[in-house]
Structure 1
Amino acid sequence: MGIGSPENAPNLPAEVYISSVSALYRDRRSLFSGTASAIAASLVTGWISGIIWLALCAFPLALTGVLRWMDMNAYERNAGSSQTVEQARGWERRYIVGSSTFAVLLSLWCFLAFALSSDPAVHLVSFAVCLAYMIGITGRNYSSDQLVIFTTACAAIPMIMGLLLHLEAAYLFLALVLVPFFLSVRTIATRLRFTLFDAVVASHDLRALATHFDTAVNNMPHGLCMFDGDQKLVVFNDRFMSLLNLDASATWKGQDVRSLLGTALAANQVPLEASDAIFSAFRKWTGAAGTAPLVIDAAGHRILQLTFQPIKAGGFVLLIEDITEKRRAEERIEHLARYDALTGLPNRSHFQEQFETVMARGRPCALLFIDLDQFKVVNDTLGHPCGDALLCQVADRLRKVMKPSDVIARLGGDEFVVLRELKGPADEASLVAQRIVRTLSEVFTVESHQFVIGASIGIALAPRDGTSFEQMLKCADLALYSAKSDGRGVWRFFEPEMDARVQARRALEIDIRNALDDGNFEVFFQPIVNLRTGKSSVCEALARWRHPKRGLISPDAFIPVAEETNLIIELGDFILHEACRQCVTWPGNVHVAVNISPVQFRRGDVITSVVSALDRSGLPAHRLEIEITESLLLENTAAIRTTLENLRSLGVRVSLDDFGTGYASLSYLHHFPLDKVKIDRSFLQDVEVSSRSRRLLAGVASLSSELGMSVVVEGVETPRQLALLKELPGVDEVQGFLFSPPIPACEISSFLAAGSFDFEKVA
């Protein structure tokens, strides 16, 4: 505490120290009686001895007593419960000054009595009063070590000096005895102080601990109660009352545990049969430690868990926890682990569990693998939120058309599966598939948008096609692939030949990967001839695969697989770089055209690839033409449009290849940044004999030309077709076997050097 605080309690709690100081000012009666006795003794000794000075000592004693009385009043007025340690230390010093001053005056009176009088009665009165006052004030104020020291010293020194003035044996003996007496008084005061503060601090710590324990217990999230050896309630917290829905105003202490449990079960509306089961479990439960917690379902809206822990001295502690949210969270986690979060259907793992349950019955069943046909278009055009809403509608329709015993699940994306136990022939599975295709082909409405998506289904039968989940799913997937290959909106049963075709396709995929690594792909070029000059103005780059065993393979055999596996990105980059490298060696007025797959636009970085090819080859951007297909325009995304505009800003020309084979309308020619239109060879069918075909071709060519695009007609194979095209306005260039088939890169330079075509000679 520092100066002014009890020496024996440097770690004394502040409130204990402040209380000890307050005790000094509390007893006014002892101050009044002590002062009055001293004044009376002073007057009596003065009257007995006739020495006026002894009587006059009463006045400073009285004045000091009055000042100390006033100081006590000041303490009462100014010191409150908010008193600090520093303030208490100041009041202690004031008390020590007042008490020591009174002790000095009293001992001086005693000294004068011995010095001025030889009357033994006077000596006895003064010595006795002074000694009694010193012992009394030391006994009352032993809590302050400094007060004991000062009062003892102030009283003892003048008394001893007064005794020493009389050189008699009795007086000298008293003076000699007073020294150890005063020391023993101080020692007794110190011991009392130790005992007092030890007890006070211990009591304070115990109260603080009890307060902290009570606060902790009543603020813990669990209900806590303690029962004695007779199973009577002795301790409980507020949470215990609220969890058991008990009346807090009632008297529960001393209540028997079974009676309390019965009241709690009734208050929480636990059914009678459930209560009987809980009581039965509770009797076994309280008999041994380490048993599992007891769970109480309170009226279906709250779940309580009771944990029992015996006490060695007898009785037990009961911990009550509200596990409602915990159980709900566990149920949510369990649901998320077993069900699809979007549609609420079982997910793959839960579907597998149900599949294995059905298989364990040994009954035949059909697994129908469903894939939505046009879902990607919805996702790409309207966004994923709209696509998610569509998937939920698909799930709802499947629930409506299937039996309650059927198992429906979503595997992911737009893939769903249905498991049906068959009671008749396999035709039942075909009827189920027909029903699903019909209901999913009806119009969907999502956010005011209407569309038809359709579905394709692959069917595997157990045990014919397999009994394991993975095998059945694989077979159904192969059947689904066959259904989509046959035009979509249909269903197919698994056949062993499907697996063989898939294996062949996978082998082809591996061969393509190896061919890319080994450099077995080549670039051939087919000239595009200017219809006015007869010169080759552009050469279209075409991929060829020179297989070490199968020889030269046409792109029709490997391009679709490359697009499905995204290998087209690597293959397309190779063709682009090689075409630019070859074009640099050609005459400066000849351009090169390179096809870019829609997959490259969606998955690759076309701009980076084009810039890289131009930089590495040194080819000017205006000599490169990028050919795209109608399917890319159908996606009509801002990203596609931006990419095409960026290509044109580089100086690269953009051509629409095979126009007329897809679903693109003439409006696409206006909305997209195009430089050239290549009219598909299908427009040349019957053109030699049908005036209607000629008018259709002429109209498309004329419209494209008027929109500012150059026009190329593909597939020119006969002189008659060439002659008709020369007569049509708007056609700028022609391409076809009439002029040249695709030729290897090593021969294209010689071909271009041969000069222009003689159309008269060709005709």
Structure 2
Amino acid sequence: MKPDSPNRVPLDVYLSFVSSLSGNRMTLLAGVIVHVATCLAVAAKTQSSVYILLSAAFLLVFSVRMAIFRQFDRVDKERLSHAGIERWERILVAGAACTTALLGIASGYAIFVVRDSFAELACIAVTMATMVSVVGRNYGSRLAVDLQTFSCCLPMIICSLLALDFYRGLLSIFLIPFWLTTRAMANGVRDFLYENVIARREITMIADRFDTALNNMPHGLVMVDMENRIQVVNRKACELLKIGAPERLKDRDLGAVLRYGARYSFMDASQPELILRQLTQVADGNLSRTLIHFPENLSLEFSASRRADGGAVLIFEDVSSRVKAEQKIMHMVRFDALTGLPNREYFGQLVQEYLARHPRKSGPLGFMVLDIDEFKHVNDMRGHVTGDHLLCAIAARIKQACGNAILGRLMGDQFILFFPHAKEPTSLELSIRRVHAAIQGHYEVDELTFLVSLSAGYAVLESSAFAMDEWSVKADLALFESKSRLKGGISGFEREMDGRYIEQQKLKADLREAVSAQALHLVFQPMFRADGARIECAEALARWVHPEKGSIPPDVFIRLAEEMGIISDITRFVLFKACSECMSWPDHIAVSVNLSARDLRDADILSVVADALAHSGLDAARLHLEVTESCLIDEPQAVRAILAELRARGITIAIDDFGTGFSSLSYLDTLPLDIVKIDRSFVRNIVEDTRRLKLLRGTVHLARELGLKIVIEGVETEEQLALLNKHRSTDLVQGYVFSQPVPSQNIPLLQQGIGRRPVQRRRNKVA
């Protein structure tokens, strides 16, 4: 790595080499004393005044060089350019060359003029010694070495040749190799030092970079030897472990340092040994990495590797943020975001963990499912925000009441509880019922008071018989039983519920098959004028005769169809069948078909109705569609739009079972209706109860004021019919007083029979 010229030498190195020309000034003082003394001695021996002048010249040159050195010392060397350094090099070299030139002249003069052996020996000896010192003093400048050796040797060579002495001339020629050797030695020293300076500089630079990288890396690093003494440690490691400054830890035992940290910082007393033990396992390859949690929510993840000399390198980082994020994600996965309760999956995990902790414990276990009654109405009437607040309040009360039971949110408005081992089933059932009773009642939410009831189903079994999925089904069966009996009630699982559940599932499968095969059939209940003189319409009613169980009540299989999501298939079947059957009746008789809430959730019903009319050829005016108030709760605006479209096509719209829901009267003015079918509950006991009759008449009057046609359902006795006719309370009558539901072919026969009988007080008993 030899520089070809000063221009190739780094500026700071070049400056240091040039600065070396002004160093070692005491040697210059010793040299000038020797030079002056030698010249004076030669002068005394030879009586030559030239050497006195040379003594004075040595002193003058020395003084000038000292002045130059002092001036060079005052220069701001950091501001020197390469050209400035080169200029100072020439000045300093010129002073040194003057000294060596005087020495060469003194030696040459002794050889050629004085020809005194003492003078020659003294001058040449001092000159040669000075040339050797050039290597030690002026190695930093190639120019200085070349110029000084040249200025020393040239006068001696010239004077030796001028003396015309063969041997002196031969010796003078030998000065040339000496000159070249001296020059080569100086250059070698300079090149060697240059290479070492550059290498040291690069090593220092690499060390600085390594130190910068080491102390600015985001990871902590500790390097230990085979005896666990710290060799290298960065600042991040000291900050994370709080074990002091890096420079104080060199050659300290890592275990002792960690124990010191445990005494004077945040670590627990047990953690140093834990860290060392786990780090040994990681370094030996037994673990890939290890995560250690410290106080103050600090989590460090360590990795380690063995070195060839038996030591180890430990690297660790602060993963507290990642751990917190993972914990947050895990909490989101495990817990319900609204109530903060364990979700279904985590609830099951908690139950399994409890059973794993108590494998040999015996005694009954409890499993309960809670369902908030009519919670949907809260969301519909008060909004989802209030509904969420109420749900949180209920969850908080359940959590307070359930004690040591494990509580979770099953879904929507349902909660699930697991009761741990009890001494006997009776005490466990009492605890379950006590929790159920404690959570009923009034809740204050958003400055509103809600009376809340929760239906519950539970199962109590021995722990040896526990199976999560089976118990969940058993509790659901008990809940279903409870809701079917009374809202807000609680029922325990009984073995016969399993049979009923299996039977119900089989019935659902049979119903699905029957609907798919169109194995249902229709009967029609006619609607007569109030005087019985004419049939105006007949309501289509679906019937299902099971091949094994016989006739299944409509309220049973219709409810099952709604649960299964196949009610729309039944509606389609009834529409097509009813429209086709109506075509065989007298032209003045219409057919009425019921629509479910599911039918009105989207606009598909429009195309189904249009297809049924097109397929049968029935006039739209002869088709009546009946909807109940429950159809209007979910999406009232969408339902109104669908009904308005159907009515615009000429189809008659009727509201069925009027008076059985809430806010019934509000629908009469807002819905596109033609007919109001008043529920049979209004007619019951109107003969005996005058108040009920007044309520019926008021409702009828309101409907007529709105231009709606009245149909009274469930008229069963002639007394009821007479009273309705007396007060003109209905337009059409539907009930057993005129006819039960009959097959399609009986509708024309009923109409024909009316013409052959007296109009007043007739009663048709055609089956």
Give the TM-score band, short-chain normalised.
0.5 to 0.7
Aligned to 2:400: 400
Aligned to 1:130: none
Counterpart contact for 2:533–2:759, Cα < 8 Å: no
Identical amino acids, percent of aligned pairs: 28
Classify 1:610/1:310 alpha carbon distance in 2 versus 1 (closer, same or farther; 3 Å). Answer: same
Aligned AA for 1:397? Answer: R
| Matched ranges for 1:258-297 at <5 A | 258-270=255-267, 275=269, 277-278=270-271, 289-290=283-284, 295=292, 297=294
Q: How many residues align?
A: 706
Q: Give the deviation of 1:477 after TM superposition.
A: 2.5
Instruction: State the distance in 2 between where 1:462 and 1:702 align.
Output: 59
TM-score w.r.t. the length of structure 1 is 0.68
Q: Give the deviation of 1:405 after TM superposition.
A: 4.2
| Matched ranges for 1:280-679 at <5 A | 289-290=283-284, 295=292, 297-298=294-295, 301-302=297-298, 309-313=305-309, 315-322=311-318, 324-325=320-321, 340-341=336-337, 342-344=339-341, 347-354=347-354, 360-402=360-402, 404-413=403-412, 414-419=414-419, 421-424=421-424, 426=426, 428-463=427-462, 466-531=465-530, 534-548=533-547, 553-579=552-578, 591-601=590-600, 605-615=601-611, 617-618=613-614, 624-633=623-632, 635=633, 637=634, 639-650=635-646, 651=648, 654-679=653-678
Classify 1:189/1:26 alpha carbon distance in 2 versus 1 (closer, same or farther; 3 Å). Answer: closer
Instruction: State the distance in 1 between where 2:580 and 2:603 align.
Output: 17
Give the match's secondary structure for 2:341: coil
Q: Give the deviation of 1:323 after TM superposition.
A: 5.2
| Matched ranges for 1:151-300 at <5 A | 204-205=205-206, 207-216=208-217, 219-220=218-219, 224=222, 226=224, 229=227, 231-248=228-245, 251-270=248-267, 275=269, 277-278=270-271, 289-290=283-284, 295=292, 297-298=294-295
Instruction: State the distance in 1 between where 2:532 and 2:688 align.
Output: 27
Larger CA deviation: 556-565 vs 527-536? 527-536
Classify 1:27/1:613 alpha carbon distance in 2 versus 1 (closer, same or farther; 3 Å). Answer: farther
Instruction: State the distance in 2 between where 1:494 and 1:262 align.
Output: 60
Instruction: State the distance in 2 between where 1:401 and 1:478 align.
Output: 24
Classify 1:19/1:754 alpha carbon distance in 2 versus 1 (closer, same or farther; 3 Å). Answer: farther
Instruction: State the distance in 2 between where 1:587 and 1:93 align.
Output: 124
* Per-residue deviation, residues 507-553 of structure 1 (Å, max 9, x unmatched): 11001111122121334443434558955444433222354555665
* Per-residue deviation, residues 202-221 of structure 1 (Å, max 9, x unmatched): 665555445434433xx436
Give the match's secondary structure for 1:370: strand
Aligned AA for 1:618? Answer: A
Give the match's secondary structure for 2:660: coil
Q: Give the deviation of 1:679 after TM superposition.
A: 0.7
* Per-residue deviation, residues 51-73 of structure 1 (Å, max 9, x unmatched): xxxxxxxxxxxxxxxxxxxxxxx
Residues 1:736 and 2:732 are matched in the alignment: no
Q: Give the deviation of 1:225 after TM superposition.
A: 5.3
Aligned AA for 2:265? Answer: N
Instruction: State the distance in 2 between where 1:187 and 1:27 align.
Output: 16
Instruction: State the distance in 2 between where 1:8 and 1:486 align.
Output: 103
Aligned-pair RMSD on alpha carbons?
Answer: 6.6
Instruction: State the distance in 2 between where 1:599 and 1:566 align.
Output: 8
* Per-residue deviation, residues 189-234 of structure 1 (Å, max 9, x unmatched): 9999999877766665555445434433xx4367x454674x5444
Instruction: State the distance in 1 between where 2:463 and 2:197 align.
Output: 95
Classify 1:236/1:681 alpha carbon distance in 2 versus 1 (closer, same or farther; 3 Å). Answer: same
Larger CA deviation: 20-29 vs 647-656? 20-29
| Structure 1: stretches of 5+ with no match in the other structure | 10-16, 31-74, 80-90, 100-139, 149-181
Q: Give the deviation of 1:261 after TM superposition.
A: 2.2
TM-score w.r.t. the length of structure 2 is 0.67
Counterpart contact for 1:228–1:234, Cα < 8 Å: no
Counterpart contact for 1:371–1:455, Cα < 8 Å: yes
Q: Give the deviation of 1:678 after TM superposition.
A: 0.3
Give the match's secondary structure for 1:643: helix
* Per-residue deviation, residues 245-277 of structure 1 (Å, max 9, x unmatched): 34549844444434422321122255xxx52x4
Q: Give the deviation of 1:707 after TM superposition.
A: 2.6
Instruction: State the distance in 2 between where 1:317 and 1:249 align.
Output: 16
Instruction: State the distance in 2 between where 1:631 and 1:761 align.
Output: 41
Give the match's secondary structure for 2:309: coil
Give the match's secondary structure for 1:452: strand
Counterpart contact for 2:373–2:452, Cα < 8 Å: yes
Classify 1:529/1:606 alpha carbon distance in 2 versus 1 (closer, same or farther; 3 Å). Answer: farther
Instruction: State the distance in 2 between where 1:198 and 1:250 align.
Output: 25
* Per-residue deviation, residues 391-445 of structure 1 (Å, max 9, x unmatched): 333333234334x44444443331322425443562x345334423432321112
Classify 1:280/1:239 alpha carbon distance in 2 versus 1 (closer, same or farther; 3 Å). Answer: closer
* Per-residue deviation, residues 470-524 of structure 1 (Å, max 9, x unmatched): 4333333222221211123222232222222111111110011111221213344
Instruction: State the distance in 1 between where 2:5 and 2:672 align.
Output: 94
Counterpart contact for 2:220–2:234, Cα < 8 Å: no
Aligned to 2:709: 710
Counterpart contact for 2:372–2:453, Cα < 8 Å: yes
Counterpart contact for 2:711–2:734, Cα < 8 Å: yes
The structure having more radius of gyration, on CA atoms, is 2
Counterpart contact for 1:441–1:454, Cα < 8 Å: yes
Instruction: State the distance in 2 between where 1:425 and 1:207 align.
Output: 76
Residues 1:761 and 2:758 are matched in the alignment: yes
Instruction: State the distance in 2 between where 1:188 and 1:621 align.
Output: 118
Q: Give the deviation of 1:321 after TM superposition.
A: 4.4
Instruction: State the distance in 1 between where 2:364 and 2:507 align.
Output: 35
Give the match's secondary structure for 2:500: helix
Counterpart contact for 2:575–2:609, Cα < 8 Å: yes
Instruction: State the distance in 1 between where 2:631 and 2:138 align.
Output: 102
| Matched ranges for 1:6-25 at <5 A | none
Aligned AA for 1:238? Answer: R
Classify 1:350/1:732 alpha carbon distance in 2 versus 1 (closer, same or farther; 3 Å). Answer: same
